[in-house]
Amino acid sequence: MKLDKRLLQQLNGLRILVSGTIGLGLLVAIMTIAQAFYLSKTINLVFLHSRTLADVSPCLIYFGIFSLFRSLFHYGQQNIAGKIAFKVKTDLREKIVRHLFKLGPIYIKSGRTGELSNTILKGIDSLDAYFSQYIPQIFLSALVPVGILLAVFPLDILSGIVFLITAPLIPLFMVLIGDTAETLTKKQWHTLSRLSAHFLDVLQGLTTLKIFNRSKDQIAVIAKISDHYRIATLKVLRVAFLSALTLEMLATISTAIIAVEIGLRLLYAKIDFQSALFVLILAPEFYLPLRQLGTKFHAGMEGVAAANRIFTILEEPAEHSSARPVLFNLRSEEIVFDTVSYGYKSKQLNAIENLSFRILPGAKVALVGPSGAGKTTIASLLLKFIRPDCGRICVGQHNLSDISAPEWRKQIAWVSQNPYLFHAGVAENIRLAAPGATEAELITAAKLANIHHFIDSLPEKYATDIGEKGARLSGGEAQRIAIARAFLKDAPFIILDEPTANLDPEIEAMIHDSIQTLTRKKTVLLIAHRLSTVHDADQIIVLVGGRIREKGDHSELIRQDGIYKKLNQAYRGVT
Amino acid sequence: MRQTFFRLVKLTMAYKNRMITAAILGFLTIGSSIGLLMTSAYIIAKAALHPSIADLQVGIVGVRFFGISRGIFRYLERLISHEATLRLLSKFRVWFYQGIEPLAPARLIKYKSGDLLNRIISDIGNLEHLYIRVLAPPVIAALVTVLMFFLFETFNLVFSILLLISFFIAGIGVPVFIFIVSRKTGEEVNRLRSKLQIQTIDSLQGISEILIFGQEERFRNKIHILNQRYEKKQRQRTFINGVHEALIGLIMNFTILAMLLIAIPQVTAATLDGIYLSVIALGIMAAFEAISPLPAAAQHLEQSIKSGQRLLDLVNANPLITDPKTPSSVPDDFSLKFENLSFKYDKNDDFSLRHVSFTVPQGSKIAVVGSSGAGKSTLVNLMLRFWDFPDGHIFIGNRDIRTFRQEDVRNLISVVSQNTYLFNETIQENLSLANPEKSKDELEEAMRQAQLWETVQSLPKQAETFVGEQGFLFSGGERQRLAIARSFLKDAPILILDEPTANLDAFTEQKILRIFWDLSKNKTTVLITHRLVGLENADQILVLKKGKIIQRGTHAELTEQDGWYRRMWQIQNQVLVIEAIGQ
């Protein structure tokens, strides 16, 4: 029954609302007792003292009024709890999104985005029950029984003692059984997450599965995973229900004991009927909130399990951007790699090892080398998605680590291998680079990227919606949209990550000029497999296995008769 | 709406025995409570009259029995009903997948995967409640109503009728009221959740672009706005939920009040024994346990129907292609013939292919080149039977491919495409996808052939390494080589290479192409490419432009002719030209 500390911390600052639920809980308890009192009094007067309806009508009116207020307070309490849940959930969801944005693409894409988005949506939704039901129930479970105890003790000590002895057993059992349930619930949550990630994976790869005629096999796989989920869940439930069973048993058997005990004492006139009935009416009310705590506890448990995943993400250390602004200008300052090394967690070898080179302002530097040579890692470092394990990257006088990422990125444009297109109109996708751009600027950028004609041929032109990952666009078209973005951004430093890798020669020729225009008077880092755009670079760096093997311009490297020359021949198809 | 409901119920019927058992146990649970409280009230009222202890004996036994039985009934009921629910869930999931599998990829292209995910996970999740929260409560409530009617009828028919009225208000009136009030909210909640999910997935997958263009604030804000709207609607729903709990409590207490108003004069007139006043009051309290879940049931009913409807909408779409009733047997000649093939994806689209005709003799190699959008990939989509085509023919071994079963066609074809999907599984699992029967040695051989072996050996867990989401942990070239290794393993008589070297560096490209030509020795091969490299090996080359064949011939012939091919070949070899000028 652990109260998750990190979750409770979310209640800081919501003290007024929390006190509100407690106060209303207390009022519900008082109303419950008052109601029971007038009900037992009415029945006593009619049954044993032969009073008429007219005699007892004041009691009945009180009973009605207290019933009404009880419902009102109950409703109020739930509303306030709902408000608490609302505040905590919206807040946490935004915190987690903010934090993920800080953690950046390397963290996000190393996991499964399906699982992450499930945590953000369903995970946080499952906190609803924790805050809107479980927490208020805790207060009700504390206040109502205590109130009833206080009312019963002066009237009937023996029943009071039965209540007093049995009540603590309920939370005790819950703690004992709850711990096992907690570990099991965690496991179950994990299965559920995997289930949804697997589903997304299968759906996205459905075409590939079909090509291999394996899509029907997935039926069995899905059934198998669902079965695992069922078995895992049932395990949790068997324990969870066992605790419910214990609680039910305690509550019903105690009620039975009280009924027999007061019945027998009534028989020997040790207690009066009104008090006996009062106690009997309250007996189920006494146990009800404790029993409900059991059911709501399990609703809350799902939240606690989700909270673990949520806080794992939130506690993942993110780079803190430095507070002091650093002035730099990439138009005039050089970028220097000084013995930089970096390795990914998942791989043994470093992606790049002891790299040193400089990018002069206005220069065009090309990185060439087989795949896996570390070219993309260099781009990630320059984009501040990752920071060097060793060595440093300097910008003029400053260390890149001291420059805040958003400030830094303002001066960079990037055209990647697989540009991502958002579920939005074409225009909005290009405007990503400059949300305030005018229609004219937009069209100019599209024209420069040689994509305007294509967009103009779309059914709704610039307003045409692009599906997931630009489902309706070819690789070349997506690439040209990315180039249009770069045009619109007009940054002094441009990173071209194999921008022509997916284009055919016709389009390559078409955008060759675009790229020329784009990169004019700009600092350029070009990452390329294709050599047709490399030959006019000021400097070509040949990378193999994360190390620099050759450096120089095209004619120098051809003269050296090394790897570059071989690459060149290979590219032209000369064997 | 009614139809959806019945279709859903029909799906649940597979587990009807479990469900009926659970409902009876649920009824017995509440029955025990009623028994416990009514006998308890009877004992103390009787005892107040100071009879002999023997008169209480039966009551005491009853109290003990009900006190124990309730817990046991409840436990069994929960276990059985949840078991049934989870089985149901698995059934729904499989049913849904079976439904969409034949629709892929043609019908599914308009559904975004974020949305699809949301549908499956949360809609199927909603159906999870179909039995426990929607179907079971009314059945249990009806059984309890019958029980109470006859119990109260032993006192006086008026009590039974009054109870019936109050149950009707609480059990049907309140749920209908809630249903009407919450209807729109529920719809909004679902709609907003789906939007929020799409926005979230979009932002996570496009994170690089967002950061580079400094748009964190804007995207966070988009999520912020949707989040606020979504949670506000959720809260409205909580409001409505709060109403029903309080409202039913109120109705219960007023029922007791009304019952006393009728009963007290009867006690005074001695037509009712005063003992039963407390019995009736406590009986009502216990019986209302059966009524309280009903408003929630109405809400869940609505949700279940909406979710069910959305799932059915997807599943009910007709697949674009159905297998012929009497499929042709697989041919032993694997020549390809395209005859006057024209195709467009949508009525309103332009033609992607126009009167395309060509033949590829068995074992021969053809290269199809052209700009993006020329219709190259459409050829592949049609050959793989992903889309149907009304105009023209494609023959394999002189039999129209429309006469084969789709699976048989795909068994004959091995594809390496530019966007082969890698699953977030181990390398090994991704490879055995192509052919689960291949041994470890054969997998190794395939990796060697695809020039992947060394890379895989350098990984911490070798072939057991997970490839990450969509193969993220690997570079483009490595991903592509994995895909190539996969096609080696499939070993089909027809080979389609759809831009197989698009993401490879020149060295690897050459090596891979060489292997491809070796591999394709006895296979009918279609190479689709925009890279005019190594095409001397092709027996014929087709140049496609805007869906039309504009040139055909061998590499030698086409470089002689003035035309698209020679122009592009020159552009590609620009480096060479410049180099020559430089010297």
β A424-425/A465-466 pair status: antiparallel
Based on the domain organization, do A297 and A433 belong to the same domain?
no
ipTM: 0.79
Is A284 a member of any domain?
A: yes
Helix and strand counts by DSSP (H, E) for chain A: 20, 12
Q: What is the pLDDT of residues A144-153, one digit of tens each?
A: 888 889 988 8
Map out the domains of chain B with their CATH numbers: 2-182+242-316 (1.20.1560.10), 336-582 (3.40.50.300)
pLDDT per residue, tens digit, chain B (583 aa), is 778 888 888 888 888 898 899 999 999 999 999 999 999 999 889 888 888 888 888 888 998 899 889 889 988 988 898 888 888 878 888 888 888 888 777 766 666 555 565 566 677 777 777 888 888 999 999 999 999 999 999 988 999 999 999 999 999 998 888 878 877 887 888 888 888 888 888 888 888 888 888 888 888 888 899 999 998 888 887 777 778 888 999 999 999 999 999 999 999 998 889 889 999 999 999 999 899 888 888 878 877 888 888 888 877 777 777 777 777 777 778 888 888 888 887 777 778 888 888 888 888 889 898 876 778 888 888 888 888 888 888 888 888 888 888 888 888 888 887 666 777 777 777 777 777 777 778 778 778 877 777 777 777 777 667 776 666 666 666 777 787 788 778 878 888 888 877 666 666 777 777 777 777 778 888 988 877 777 888 889 988 888 888 888 888 888 888 888 887 777 666 544 333 333 3
In a domain? residue A65: no
Which residues make beta-bridge pairs with A541?
Answer: A367, A551
- Which residue is listed with tokens 């030509």? B517
C-alpha torsion A316→A319→A323→A328, nearest 10: -160
Instruction: For chain B, say whether A322 makes contact (Cβ under 8 Å).
Output: no
Tens-place pLDDT, residues A19-47? 998 899 889 889 999 999 999 999 999 98
Asked if A203 lies within 8 A of B50 by C-beta distance, the reply is no
Q: Is A210 within 8 Å of B104 (Cβ atoms)?
A: yes
What H or E segment, with its residue span, contains residue A425?
A: strand A424-425
Q: A4 vs chain B: nearest CA distance in angstroms?
A: 22
* Residue B265 confidence (pLDDT): 92
Asked whether residue A533 is domain-assigned, the answer is no
The tokens for A481 are 């949209």
Interface of A with B in 109-128 (CB under 8 A): 109-114, 116-118, 120-122, 125, 128
A58 touches chain B (CB under 8 A): no
Q: What are phi and psi of B65, to 5 degrees?
A: -60, -50
Could you tell me if A104 lies within 8 Å of chain B, comparing CB atoms? yes
Q: Establish if A479 belongs to a structural domain.
A: yes
In angstroms, the CA B507 to CA A550 distance is 16
| Per-residue pLDDT at A451 exceeds 80 | yes
Q: Which residue has the higher pLDDT, A178 or A206?
A: A206
Write out pLDDT tens, residues A39-96.
999 999 998 888 888 989 999 999 999 999 999 998 898 889 888 988 998 999 989 9
Copy the structure tokens of residue A333: 């300052």
Q: Give the C-alpha separation, A84 to B325, whole Å.
A: 60
Confirm if B252 and B288 have CB atoms less than 8 A apart: yes
Find, among A305, A352, A289, the residue nearest to A141 by Cα.
A289
Three-state SS for B487-516 is HHHHCCCEEEEECCCCCCCHHHHHHHHHHH
Answer for the pair A534, A528: CB distance below 8 angstroms, yes or no: yes
Selected residues 53-72 of chain B with any CB under 8 Å from a CB in chain A? 53, 56, 59-60, 63-64, 66-68, 70-72
DSSP codes joined into one string, A281-307:
HHHHHHHHHHHHHHHHHHHHHHHHHHH
Q: Last residue of a domain, which of A260, A290, A315?
A: A315
Domain extent at residue A477: 421-490
Of A490, A507, A523, at which residue does a domain stop? A490
> In chain A, how many domains are there?
2
Average pLDDT, chain A: 81
Q: How confident is the model at residue A1 (pLDDT cuts 50, 70, 90)?
A: very low
Chain A closest-CA separation from residue B244 CA (Å): 9
Among A315, A346, A373, identify where a domain stops: A315
Contact A207 B386 (CB under 8 A): yes
CB B278 within 8 A of CB A114: no
Residue A336 included in any domain: no
What six digits make up the tokens of A569?
A: 């021949």
Task: Test B460 with A346 for CB contact under 8 angstroms.
Answer: yes
Spatial strand order in the sheet of B413-416: B413-416, B494-498, B524-529, B365-369, B540-545, B548-553
B103 at interface of A, judged by CB pairs closer than 8 A: no
Q: Test B532 with A505 for CB contact under 8 angstroms.
A: yes
Q: Residue A483: which CATH number?
A: 3.40.50.300
Give contacts of B490 with chain A, Cβ < 8 Å.
Answer: 212
Query: Which residue is closest to B85 within chain A, CA to CA?
Result: A230
Nearest partner of B13 among B87, B75, B80, judged by Cα = B87
Q: What is the CATH number of the domain that holds A183?
A: 1.20.1560.10
Q: Angle between the B574-582 and B564-572 helix axes, to the nearest 10 degrees?
A: 60
Question: Is the Cβ of B198 closer than 8 Å to some Cβ of chain A?
Answer: yes
Q: Quick check: is A530 in a domain?
A: no
Nearest alpha-carbon partner for B370 in B233, B534, B564: B564
pLDDT-derived band at A529, boundaries 50, 70, 90? low
pLDDT in tens, B119-173: 666 777 777 778 888 889 999 999 999 999 999 999 889 999 999 999 999 999 9
What's the rounded Cα separation, in Å, for the pair B306 and B186? 9
Closest residue of chain A to B415, computed from CA coordinates:
A211
CA distance B342 to chain A (A): 20
Nearest to A341 by CA among A361, A319, A329, A356: A356
Rounded percentage of chain A residues whose pLDDT exceeds 90: 7
State CA B9 to chain mean position distance: 19
Q: Which residues of B fall within a CB distance of 8 Å from A483?
A: none
Nearest CB to A230: which of B90, B212, B424? B90
CA dihedral sign, ordered B405, B408, B410, B412 = negative
CB B85 within 8 A of CB B132: yes
In a domain, A332, yes or no: no
Write b or e for each residue in B175-194: b if 16 or more Cβ atoms lie within 10 A of its Cβ, otherwise e: bebbbeebeebbebbbebbb
> B312-315 long-range CB contacts below 8 Å, 24 or more apart?
B312/B4, B312/B7, B314/B96, B314/B99, B314/B100, B314/B103, B314/B111, B314/B119, B315/B95, B315/B96, B315/B99, B315/B100
- The per-residue pLDDT for range A491-507, each reduced to its tens digit, is 888 888 765 544 566 66
What value does the mean pLDDT take over residues A342-353? 76
Choose the mutation target among A208, A296, A574 for the interface with B, i.e. most B CBs under 10 Å. A208
Question: How much is the pLDDT for B581?
Answer: 34
Q: Which residue has the higher pLDDT, A363 or A195?
A: A363
Nearest C-alpha in A relative to B237: A82
Task: Decide: A503 and B372 in contact? Cβ < 8 Å.
Answer: yes
Helix, strand, coil abundance in chain B, percent, nearest 5: 65, 10, 25
pLDDT digits (tens, 9 = 90+) for A549-559: 888 888 787 78
For residue A501, the model assigns a pLDDT of 47
- Nearest residue of B to residue A498, measured between CA atoms: B503
A429 shares a domain with A309: no
Interface test with A, best of B60, B575, B581 (most A CBs within 10 A): B575
Beta-carbon separation of B212 and A70 below 8 A:
no
**Which residues 480-509 of B have a C-beta within 8 angstroms of A?**
486, 490, 502-509
Supply B102's token pair: 């034949």
Q: What does residue A510 show for φ and ψ, rounded to 5 degrees?
A: -60, -45
Q: Does any domain span residue A415?
A: no
User: How do residues A223-259 score in pLDDT, each as one tens digit?
Assistant: 887 788 788 778 777 777 777 677 778 888 888 888 8
Q: Does A474 touch chain B (CB under 8 A)?
A: yes
String of DSSP letters for B429-455? HHHHTT-TT--HHHHHHHHHHTT-HHH
The answer to whether residues A509 and A348 touch, using CB atoms and an 8 Å cutoff, is: no
Q: What average pLDDT does the segment A114-118 reach? A: 80
Distance from CA of A69 to the nearest CA of B (A): 9
pLDDT value for B287: 93
